């Protein structure tokens, strides 16, 4: 069902403050910033080899990322796994009794469709399914 890790999401208070560390100190390739209004976040993608880090800045105090930072501070927020057929993956998890945050895909950054599995089902790790393209 899963093909690879697509990215690791890291919650930050400010993209402007966080990007220089990843881009300049760690030397990762900066792949741009995008706002995802549906998730109330601005995201910056940084690449290292085949792997990606997604920095997440909340755009509203109602954002799930704002709530996460308020409770935990900045840090690792989620792991996103790539799937080729997100509807089929959601259907399979639901039929196995897995608790989904999203029972239908939402729009993610960079033209992806995403769905979250609830962290209560995944031993405390917020887990994202991510389909590249439509």
The reply to whether 105 sits near ligand CMX by the rule CB under 6 A is: no
Element (H, E) at 64: helix 64-72
53 is a contact residue toward ligand CMX (CB under 6 A)? no
Q: Please check whether residue 43 is in contact with residue 89, taking contact to mean a CB–CB distance below 8 angstroms.
A: no
- The separation between CA 124 and the C-alpha centre of its own chain, rounded to angstroms, equals 15
When asked if residue 39 is in the footprint of ligand CMX (CB under 6 A), the reply is: yes
Q: Minimum distance between the CB of residue 51 and ligand CMX, rounded to whole angstroms?
A: 16
Nearer to ligand CMX, 39 or 131 (CB): 39
Q: Tell me the pairing of strands 112-117 and 106-107.
A: antiparallel
Say whether residue 69 binds ligand CMX (CB under 6 A).
Answer: no
Q: Write out the two tokens for 22.
A: 């990843």
The first and second tokens of residue 19, run together, are 């990007």
Asked whether position 124 contacts ligand CMX by CB under 6 A, the answer is: yes
The reply to whether 9 sits near ligand CMX by the rule CB under 6 A is yes
Q: Which of 116, 117, 129, 131 binds ligand CMX (CB under 6 A)?
A: 116
Shortest spacing between CB 25 and ligand CMX, in angstroms: 23
| Residues 64/112, Cβ–Cβ less than 8 Å | no
């Amino acid at each position: 069902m899963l093909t690879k890790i697509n990215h690791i999401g890291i919650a930050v208070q400010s993209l402007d403050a966080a990007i220089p560390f990843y881009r300049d100190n760690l030397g990762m390739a900066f792949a741009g910033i995008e706002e995802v209004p549906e998730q109330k976040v601005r995201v910056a993608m940084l690449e290292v080899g085949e792997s990606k880090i997604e920095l997440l800045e909340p755009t509203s105090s109602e954002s799930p990322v704002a709530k996460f930072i308020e409770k935990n501070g900045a840090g690792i927020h989620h792991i996103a796994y790539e799937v080729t057929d997100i509807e089929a993956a959601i259907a399979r998890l639901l039929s196995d009794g897995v608790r989904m945050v999203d029972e239908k895909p939402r729009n993610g950054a960079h033209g992806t469709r995403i769905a979250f599995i609830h962290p209560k089902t995944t031993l405390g790790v917020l887990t994202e399914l991510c389909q590249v393209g439509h």
